Amino acid sequence: MEKQTVTIYDVAREAAVSMATVSRVVNGNPNVKPATRKKVLEVIDRLDYRPNAVARGLASKKTTTVGVIIPDVTNIYFSSLARGIDDIAMMYKYNIILTNSDENGGKEVQVLNTLMAKQVDGIIFMGNQVTDELREEFKRSKAPVVLAGSVDSEKAQPSVNIDYVAAVAEAVKNLIDHGNQKIAFVSGSMEQAINHDYRLKGYKKALKDAGIAYDDKLVFETDYTYKAGQSLEPALSAAGATAAFVGDDELAAGVMNGLTDAGVDVPSEFEVITSNDTKLTELVRPKMSSITQPLYDIGAVAMRLLTKLMNNETVEENTVILPYGLMKRSSTK
Amino acid sequence: MEKQTVTIYDVAREAAVSMATVSRVVNGNPNVKPATRKKVLEVIDRLDYRPNAVARGLASKKTTTVGVIIPDVTNIYFSSLARGIDDIAMMYKYNIILTNSDENGGKEVQVLNTLMAKQVDGIIFMGNQVTDELREEFKRSKAPVVLAGSVDSEKAQPSVNIDYVAAVAEAVKNLIDHGNQKIAFVSGSMEQAINHDYRLKGYKKALKDAGIAYDDKLVFETDYTYKAGQSLEPALSAAGATAAFVGDDELAAGVMNGLTDAGVDVPSEFEVITSNDTKLTELVRPKMSSITQPLYDIGAVAMRLLTKLMNNETVEENTVILPYGLMKRSSTK
DNA sequence: CGCAACATTGAAAACGCTTTCATATCAAAG
DNA sequence: CTTTGATATGAAAGCGTTTTCAATGTTGCG
């Protein structure tokens, strides 16, 4: 009892018009006599006709779906962006094919290829390591690609971000102003552009401005997990750090809880400032001070930018920088 | 300079074979002489041919993509399921079209329709309120639908869940065993089947078993947000509750922090147990005791079930119940 | 060597729509 | 009435595959 599908042809026959006319009314083409339109609409309603988007995609070469590559949906930072992306996408009648990449280069390339095979009209990429291979794929893609909350040292792709260098510098300066001399820099892999090309740069800048020598013993490269942060405490203390800038909220929560559990009081004995201003910052105690980012908007703006690109509209600026801020909560003095 | 796409026809011409043969090698059909296969493969490689999935979808009536309806990606409970779904989907060569519904019936119906228009091969639905309209749409869908971590009182759809009634009953019994007599039931909308048909039932059962009278003054219906939980404190105290079962982790974190901030000590003065065992339970202090659920697995199993359904394999049991547990952390005595 | 049986291949018809181009229709103008 | 310039409509050619069916090759065996 396979359900029978009604096609545009059925509608045409029943309404005694041509497929072309049905297509016109379905697509809102104005060149249809109102009476005809009405007649067709009635038949469509009666037969419960629903256009087949696949056929449409083949004929029109537009699928109204965009691919979204995300490191891990489970990471609030990225899922917040994703939410912004999806909302705007829906607003513009696009759908999202979402795939987790785990920031794994091989997987990313593979995913990118299947997205292209599926003829997505555009792609939003999140992930902070754009390998050469990936960059090549981006180039060969006929669908525009925009990076959201992610940077590429080559700056080849349109992207939406905040000014990470300035934001981190400001955050670290804040820590310095509180009298800290030994400030740890805790982040994910240094291979990621966002860490070595932006955050670390901001960190160094703040130190330099304050006349503090850079000491790579204070740089902790780990992964973006709660556990990783939690187990960092002994090392942090051993290095003599009295404060830390952390590149991810979950990681920061781990760091903070690890400290607290070890009897180090935050913020009186150790200050922590984090980067992404996700809801996690408010959940933990003490609440975490953070660089603030318009997470939802980064996604939303990236998607909006993508719609323009897909539409061949000229965009004034391919690299958009959204404003950041510093939110003082209770993990800093 | 529109990028030129190479089609199966180009490959056929260059390899001096028919499209049919190319199609065969692309699809791994064994009826091709090894020599021919090799020749075709070389041409494919040389021309960098990539099959157009849309055309393929039209011709084969299979798109290898499934639709996923999620209340909000930003909610860790659901994003954890989504992660399981995506991983298994990828394993079976499917892609995911992900859309947020905000549990809004109208939006859900609309989304469902566009998914069907896009000819998805199957659908995974998350959201705990299956309206009649939605149920109708499910029925008319020729793509199989499975509910993940979500229940429908009608039990019409295949689904993957835990035994909510038993789990909640056990959680509440635990609270009772600690000497609590006035236990609050805090959840989202009572219109959701999971709340009124399952959790509340479990709650009542536990009370009854312990000979405690049910008092609807202890039932707090709110929304699943941190803020909502946080602002519940005065009401909770006013009702004289000394413990609470909460239906969502973020909400529970709010409840707990609200209590703590108001000077009520958890767990000595007030115990809290939550439902979803997401990472949040470990982030907050005190860590939250929770019903444990195999979140990732719920998604994974749902997707696996869906693959079977899409494949017309006979499945022994449409309604799968995964095991739950109780994890004692520090928000209960 | 001849033929059955099977392995390979190709031609062409779908798949369900959009879009171009030509034809028809029609109201207003001459 | 004819002519003209829209305005409406239809025919048919794609879009890039899969798939069916028939045709052709090939092999083994008597």
β-partners of residue B321 are B161
Q: What is the pLDDT of residue A156?
A: 86
Question: Of the candidates A95, A98, A119, which has its C-beta nearest B52's C-beta?
Answer: A119
Three-class secondary structure of residue B48 per DSSP? coil
Low-confidence residues of chain B: pLDDT under 50: 1
CA distance A158 to A113: 19
Identify whether the C-beta of residue A67 lies closer than 8 Å to the C-beta of residue A146. Answer: no
Q: What is the pLDDT of residue B2?
A: 53
What is the total residue count of chain A? 333
H or E element at residue A165: helix A164-177
Q: Is B205 left (phi over 0), alpha (psi -120 to 50) or beta?
A: alpha
List the single residue in A with minimal CA-CA distance to B254: A283
pTM: 0.95
Contacts of B116 in chain A (CB under 8 A): 50
pLDDT tens-place values along chain A, 333 residues long: 456 789 999 999 999 999 999 999 999 988 899 999 999 999 999 999 999 999 999 999 999 999 999 999 999 999 999 999 999 999 999 999 999 999 999 999 999 999 999 999 999 999 988 999 999 999 999 999 999 999 988 888 999 999 999 999 999 999 999 999 999 999 999 999 999 999 999 999 999 999 999 999 999 999 999 999 999 999 999 999 999 999 999 999 999 999 999 999 999 999 999 999 999 999 999 999 999 999 999 999 999 999 999 999 989 899 999 999 999 999 999
CA distance B209 to chain A (A): 35
CA distance B233 to chain A (A): 16
CA distance B94 to A287: 40
Q: Looking at the complex, does the CB of residue A110 fall below 8 Å from at least one CB of chain B?
A: no
Which residues of chain B (37-76) touch nucleic strand C at CB < 7 A?
A: 55, 58-59, 61
The Å distance, CA of A274 to C1' of C3, is 83
CA distance A238 to A234: 6
CA distance A262 to chain B (A): 14
Token reading at A188: 């994910």
Q: Looking at the complex, does the CB of residue B52 fall below 8 Å from at least one CB of chain A?
A: yes
List the one residue out of B18, B21, B24, B19 whose CA is nearest residue B8.
B19
B56 touches strand D (CB under 7 A): yes
List the one residue out of B194, B223, B330 whose CA is nearest residue B272.
B330
CB atoms A142 and B55 under 8 Å? no
Contacts of A63 in chain B (CB under 8 A): 54
Q: What is the pLDDT of residue A300?
A: 98
List the single residue in B with minimal CA-CA distance to A49: B117
Residues 6+ apart with CB under 8 A from A233: A255, A258, A259, A261, A262, A264
List the one residue out of A204, A299, A158 whose CA is nearest residue B73.
A299
CB atoms A65 and B97 under 8 Å? yes
Q: Looking at the complex, does the CB of residue A297 fall below 8 Å from at least one CB of chain B?
A: no
Three-class SS of B282-299: HHCCCCCEEEECCHHHHH
